[in-house]
Structure 1
Amino acid sequence: MSLDGYGNIAFLDDNGKRLNLIDNYHKNELMNIEVAEKPPKDEDYDPYMHRKVEHPISNTDTIIHLLKSSFGTGILAIPKAFYHAGWLLGSISTVVLGLVAIYCIQILLKVHYELCKRNKVPCMDYPNIMSNALLEGPKWLHRFAPYIVHVTNFFILVYQLGICCVYIVFIGDNIKSIVDHFTQSNTDVRIYMLMVLLPIIFINWVRNLKYLAPFSTIANAITILSFVIICYFMFREPISLEGRRPVGPISEFPLFFGTVLFSMEAIGVIMPLENEMKTPKSFVGLTGVLNRAFAIIVIMYIGMGLFGYLKYGDAVEASITLNLETNSDIDVILAQSVKGMLAFGIFITHGVACYVAIDLTWNKYVVNIITNDRYKLLWEYVVRTVLVLITFLLAVAIPKLDLFISLFGAFCLSMLGLAFPALIETCVFLKEKTGVARATMIAKNAIIGFFGLCALIIGTSTSVLAIIDSFAQE
């Protein structure tokens, strides 16, 4: 899910002061929020009280959506990530990364509420939060407000296209595994990616997501069934630590980091979910919906990563579905069924994931330059097709599922999930805090921001070098 209206910012006069703030919220299939008129200046404005959501969701629904957004191709790659980090370091690091991720999301939500309250609007999207946060910060940052919108949109777009690349590789890998098993062939995985290209283009031509809803429901059901079968394969024999390294090489840790960050971060759905909640105040807090959902997510990730790696050891594949044994007829049926079901589920999900990239590209950067309304629909289909082709070409060029996940996790989410939240909190609350509280906030956010930048540089470079090495070994 995503909010439309990317990149709306405040306008500045020649002295850098804010002239006005208008959020151009749009109604679409995923979100329907009415923007209430601004109250008088002397009113204690509560953004939560001014949100009018057509179909608000409950706390339970919110937890389910958060869990669904975190249990996809990423969690299937976690055992490979534990191979890079080691079972002990991987378990500890997953907890630490989970705590850091949830803390940064809490920061983002706190700043979102504060900015909405100051500007008297019910809600904002991520690029809007970034631009207005800079306007609240030191004066020298004001000039960057219009540009940070496009920077944020860039990372969001790359992240969403990266997800789509991962989906195409996942579908190709699993179809190849099924066909290779029954035909004893060894066809290049790119052939299977090419076979599904046309159906993927067609599913992304669906302009109204409600038509995909029945298929998404089926995909969710078979995903749950698939995970049950995977657990059966993992736990049907005793688990042993023999031959399993507790700590992996430090040079491989960035691959673990990128994979876990890519898989665990739900930054793309956090704001839309909070904006659609019936009781948004219960989203944050120590025992809030967000913390409860992430506690389940971290436990599930540790379980899948730890026991998946202990089960298959050094032979663990980029997706654990490729490790499922076929020692008997029932094993063959179960293993190939899991691959087929998940390939179908991810195929359906591709249309939902790519919708965010299409929505951003079309509504923010393309539609306004089309002067002839007669050809707008045609150009929209062109944009949809081009974006799918971009993800396809990247997947064909680098058909490495685990390295793709690590690359996009390190490159995009180190900024969206770590560095940016630290920056916006500093900007928004810098003038309010004094003394020790101010110094503590600056120091804390400087550490988080530095960690995010290091993760961006080291994680991305490590993934790129690993991709180069993988081609050199072929």
Structure 2
Amino acid sequence: MDAEATVQTPTKQSNNNNNNNNAKATTIGNEEGAVSAVAAKDNENYHPPTSYLETIVHLFKGNIGPGLFAMGDAFKNGGLLLAPVLTVLIAIVCIHCQHVLIACSSKMRLQRGDAKCADYALTVEQCFELGPPKLRGWSRTMGRLVNVFICVTQLGFCCIYFVFISTNVQQILQAYEIKVDVRLVMLLALAPVLLTSLITNLKWLTPVSLFANVCMILGLAITLYYALKDGLPEVRERAYWTNGSQLALFFGTAIFAFEGIALVLPLKNAMRQPRQFESKLGVLNVGMFLVSVMFMFAGSVGYMKWGEQVGGSLTLNLGDTILAQSVKLMVSAGVLLGYPLQFFVAVQVMWPGAKQLCQLQGRSLAGELLFRTLLVLLTLAIAELVPALGLVISLIGALCSTALALVFPPVIELIARSENNKGPGIWICLKNLVILLLALLGFFTGSYESLNQIIKGFKQLH
């Protein structure tokens, strides 16, 4: 799947109703042929489509990263009773918003007669462009804003991946009395991260994502074994709920964990049969249900076992045994191999503009590889500056993930369902208003508290 193939240029809606109806009739039911149709037009940009299983592997990896192992810290900030309830609520709302995004993108595709669904930013742009007249002037601005949030979020994930990998590897080395600064470990991780990030195709990334999933699941299983083997403390030893500032940090970490909304449309478009993505037993529902169960289990067991001492990653509580070190190495490998999937989305958004700016023609593989290398170096530089794992996770989650996961989908649904000067309906308005209020509450409180804690951390260092 190529960046050029997924970032499309908006065109004006046809004024000819007959042509528009014919376009709709032609495109309905043809999603499965979209990849082939694009390939026929441009063989240079063609990449083999992915199957149901390949796509669910990518979805799984896109949502299982440092956020999974940070759920113990999230439950510490939420409380043993309140955190599970809030996690289920956030999961339901996030999955619903992903379906809303897909539905709006499909509606825009039918209205415009396009061969395939647009990406996230272009879907937002098209909804504003074809929405109420007063909002049409905002279309380009909103599309660009979404792209900015996507790039900041995905590259933020990549920075956190560097921090996660280096923190765990540093603990492994310390267990063997090898003292190495965490920033030096980040430099050592650069080579494998860079090599995997030069893979330019989702289908070619499937074996990488599959191996990463195996590492993460085995790592989680052994981590939970460590937590459960000697039994868990009494429930009364843990906080059942917490105060407002801690809940803000919980929200940021939890929303960060459900980090895959920017991957939804690229994964759907890359499928051989795209309708299998959002069906009842499709990739999205099945994959996200399994992901949510893993988050709940990791968070509740991790907090029950280690309480207030639970680390920003559960692996940091495992100790110095050989098996514990192997788990840290395994999970670090899984996160490292998940880096290119998160990185793929940012490149997909940024490369077409960079290519145009540099006036490069054709596929320009050498130019793309150089661009990818520079972006990897940028994420490494940012990670070197802010190595506070738990707080960075909360900040990225509260600031950017919230906007993408919970703000833009309800906004574009309200616009897309407003037709012929009629509103979207009272229930749609109420439902989206509740989602937006939840998002704004988490956005402001989570961002403020995360920044406050990061500033305090810097003051303590100096």
State the secondary structure of the residue aligned to 1:115: helix
Q: Which amino acid aligns with 2:351?
A: W
* 1:347-391, Cα deviation, whole Å (9 max, x unpaired): 23223332332332222x111122366996665444223212221
* Structure 1 segment 125-164 matched on structure 2, within 5 A: 125-164=119-158
Q: Contact 1:137/1:426 (CA < 8 Å) preserved in 2? A: no
Tell me, in whole angstroms, the C-alpha distance in 2 between the residues paired with 1:208 and 1:277: 13
Seq. identity, %: 32
Q: Is the 8 A contact 1:2 1:268 kept in 2?
A: no
What is the TM-score of this pair, normalised by structure 1?
A: 0.85
Shift in alpha-carbon separation, 1:88–1:152, aligned structure 2, 3 A: same
Letter in 2 for 1:416: L
1:200 to 178, 193, 202: 193
In structure 2, give the amino acid aligned to 1:123. Answer: C
How far apart are residue 251 of structure 1 and its match?
Answer: 0.6
Pick the structure with more helix per residue: 2
Distance 1:157 1:314, change over 3 A: same
Aligned equivalent of 2:335, options 338, 343, 346: 346
How many corresponding residue pairs?
A: 446
Which residue among 399, 404, 408 is the counterpart of 1:420?
Answer: 408
Contact 1:411 1:456 in 2 (8 A): yes
Matches within 5 A, 1:165-180: 165-180=159-174
Please say if residues 262 and 409 of structure 1, whose CA atoms lie closer than 8 Å, have aligned partners that are also in contact. yes
Q: Relative to 1, partners in 2 of residues 1:432 and 1:281: Cα closer, same or farther, differing over 3 Å?
A: farther
Kept in 2, the 8 Å contact 1:134–1:141? The answer is: yes
What's the CA shift for 1:78? 0.6
- Opposite residue 33 of structure 2, the aligned amino acid is R
Deviation of the 1:398 alpha carbon: 0.9
Matched-pair contact (CA < 8 Å) for 1:101–1:265? no
Following superposition of structure 1 onto structure 2, how do residues 423-434 of structure 1 map, counting pairs within 5 Å?
Answer: 423-431=411-419
1:461 equivalent in alignment to 2:448 = yes
Gaps spanning 5+ residues in structure 1: where?
Answer: 13-17, 21-36, 327-331
Q: CA RMSD in A?
A: 3.0
Match of 2:25 among 39, 43, 55: 43
Answering whether residue 307 of structure 2 is matched by residue 313 of structure 1, we say yes
Cα deviation 1:13-36 (Å, max 9, x = unaligned): xxxxx469xxxxxxxxxxxxxxxx
1:410 maps to 2:392: no
Name the residue aligned to 1:100: 93
SS for the counterpart of 1:318 is: coil
Match of 1:452 among 428, 439, 445: 439
- Residue range with higher mean Cα deviation, 447-456 or 293-302: 447-456
Note closer, same or farther for the CA distance 1:43–1:384 as it changes in structure 2 (3 Å cut). Answer: closer
| Mapped pair 1:441 → 2:428 | yes
CA distance in 2, matches of 1:461, 1:19: 46
SS at match of 1:87: coil
1:209 and 1:237 map into 2 onto residues whose CA distance is 42
Report SS of the residue matched to 1:446: helix
Which of 384, 394, 405 is residue 396 of structure 1 equivalent to?
384
Distance 1:352 1:237 in 2: 37
**For structure 1, which segment, 388-397 or 40-49, has the greater mean C-alpha deviation from structure 2 after superposition?**
40-49
Task: After TM superposition, list the pairs within 5 Å mapping 1:274-289 onto structure 2.
Answer: 274-277=268-271, 279-284=273-278, 288-289=282-283
Query: Which of 329, 346, 353 is the equivalent residue of 1:357?
Result: 346
Partners of 2:201 and 2:415 in 1: how far apart?
A: 38
SS at match of 1:245: coil
Distance 1:378 1:65 in 2: 26
- Report the Cα distance in structure 2 between the residues aligned to 1:281 and 1:217, rounded to whole angstroms: 22
Q: Name whichever of 68-77 and 160-169 sits farther off.
A: 68-77
Contact 1:419 1:450 in 2 (8 A): no
Once residues 291 and 57 of structure 1 are traced to their aligned partners in structure 2, the CA distance between those partners, rounded to angstroms, is: 18
